[in-house]
């Protein structure tokens, strides 16, 4: 997913958290990060409409950081699921 719009990665974090693959805190974090992402994207859109160059360095960095954190949660969820599958196969 694009670091300029981490919404789909955040959706995945929420799905994995609701399925119990990662802590509930991940869902709460993703929901907050989603609101932050929407705010940044709306601000960028307004800036462009007003002829202001967007995104700024800070906006790019914020979105990239959200994306990177979401991907770490997704990786953790996939690793946990893989370990569970290995355990089930061994039984």
Domain extents for the chain?
7-90
Give the pLDDT of residue 67.
97
CB-CB contact of 9 with 67 (8 Å): yes
Residues 68 and 75: their CA atoms lie apart, in Å, by 10
Structure tokens at 91: 């039984």
> How many CA atoms lie within 13 Å of 48's alpha carbon, on the beta-carbon side?
8
Q: What is the pLDDT of residues 15-56, one digit of tens each?
A: 999 999 999 999 999 999 999 999 999 999 999 999 999 999
């Amino acid at each position: 997913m694009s670091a300029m719009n981490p919404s789909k990665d955040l959706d995945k974090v929420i799905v994995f958290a609701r399925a119990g693959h990662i802590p509930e805190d991940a869902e709460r974090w993703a929901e907050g990060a989603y609101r932050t992402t929407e705010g940044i994207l709306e601000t960028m859109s307004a800036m462009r409409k007003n002829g202001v160059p967007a995104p700024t360095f800070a906006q790019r960095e914020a979105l990239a950081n959200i994306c990177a954190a979401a991907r770490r949660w997704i990786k953790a969820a996939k690793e946990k699921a893989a370990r569970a599958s290995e355990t089930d196969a061994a039984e």
